[in-house]
Amino acid sequence: MSSPLPDRINTFGQDLLRRYGQRVHKLAINAGFTCPNRDGSKGRGGCTFCNNVSFSPNARRQPDISEQIAAGRQVVARRTGARRFIAYFQAYTNTYADVASLSELYGSALAEPDVIGLSVGTRPDCVPDAVLDLLCRYRDLGHEVWLELGLQSAFDATLERVNRGHGFGEYRQAVRAARARGLKVCTHLIVGLPGEDSTHAHNSLARVLDHGVDGLKLHPLHVVKGTRLANDWRRGGYRPWSLSEYTQTAADLVERTPADVVYHRLTGTASPQILLAPEWCRFKWRVIDGIAAELVRRDTHQGSALAAPLQIQEKQAWNWSARLATSRH
């Protein structure tokens, strides 16, 4: 029995399949970056919830980008049959370097013949104009390029509480600068941050949509070893959300999202070796199926609460190799 998800939500996988005529899969890259909220530029210790391995459980620092791509390519090809890939610079802050270094790293990934684009994860306060212009150059060569901004919450009080090191104002500026250049932006939101409930999640989404966005990622908050959040949880100072609470809120957010916004992710998993709570975060498909089942139960879909029907346009498959060849002459 096929999943009802593609009929209810505009997912990144389906979006890529429509546009490229074949499966395209992200390959996670660890390029050895740090974070200004760890090295003293913005703060020390990072976010209270952050043990970065929890967001990239398969990543290992390997200086050779091509080796990481080769290893990921083999795994993904066996699992999904994908033959085209997007290099996802994921761990920590992947714009936190000089432009020459970034150009070398990004260029090494795009030199792989089956890598058609980049997805660059970073903080809203680490996207200077020079970096945006670099990403635009790759976009103008015909590559798929996404700027992924880890906002997590649109509430400054929450961002301060979790020691995020930036506010919503920095996010607003980054989005304005990126979208003025025509770069696609995917915003990350964490559901269940300390001091927040479903109303906060709804309002964070509304503020993100107000400023324009092309893609979204939703994550439940993980309590993982080696974090200040873990200490709060052990003392009873933080209560993780239940699976039901998360799936219902995620369904609410999907209903309030315009149909042309692409959902890159609806949940996140953490390595069993470091995950403390909630236990259900170990099971990605249980969460995804729960969100889909909730939408089926409600007989709703992405954009339902906006009175806008989900009409995903069929797009002609893009001859990406021909476009890249043409753009290089």
**Complete domains list, the chain, with CATH:** 5-327 (3.30.750.200)
Q: Could you tell me whether strands 223-224 and 84-89 are parallel, antiparallel, or unpaired per DSSP bridges?
A: unpaired
**With a threshold of 0.75, does the pTM exceed it?**
yes
The residue to which tokens 């043990």 are assigned = 51
Q: What is the pLDDT of residue 307?
A: 66
Condensed to tens digits (0 to 9), the pLDDT of residues 76-93 reads 988 988 999 999 998 877
Distance from C-alpha of 308 to C-alpha of 163, rounded to nearest angstrom: 37
Q: Could you tell me whether strands 223-224 and 275-277 are parallel, antiparallel, or unpaired per DSSP bridges?
A: antiparallel
Percent with pLDDT over 70 in the chain = 88
Contact 151, 216 (CB under 8 A): no
- H-only helix segments in the chain: 5-8, 12-20, 65-80, 99-110, 129-140, 156-161, 168-180, 198-210, 228-234, 243-255, 284-298, 320-327
154 vs 61, higher pLDDT: 154
What number of other Cβ atoms are within 10 A of residue 265's Cβ?
17
Condensed to tens digits (0 to 9), the pLDDT of residues 241-295 reads 999 999 999 999 999 999 999 999 999 988 889 999 999 999 999 999 999 999 9
Task: Please name which of 176, 198, 297 lies closest in space to residue 256, comparing C-alpha atoms.
Answer: 198
Q: Could you tell me whether strands 84-89 and 24-29 are parallel, antiparallel, or unpaired per DSSP bridges?
A: parallel
Our CA angle for 50, 269, 121, nearest 5°, is 55
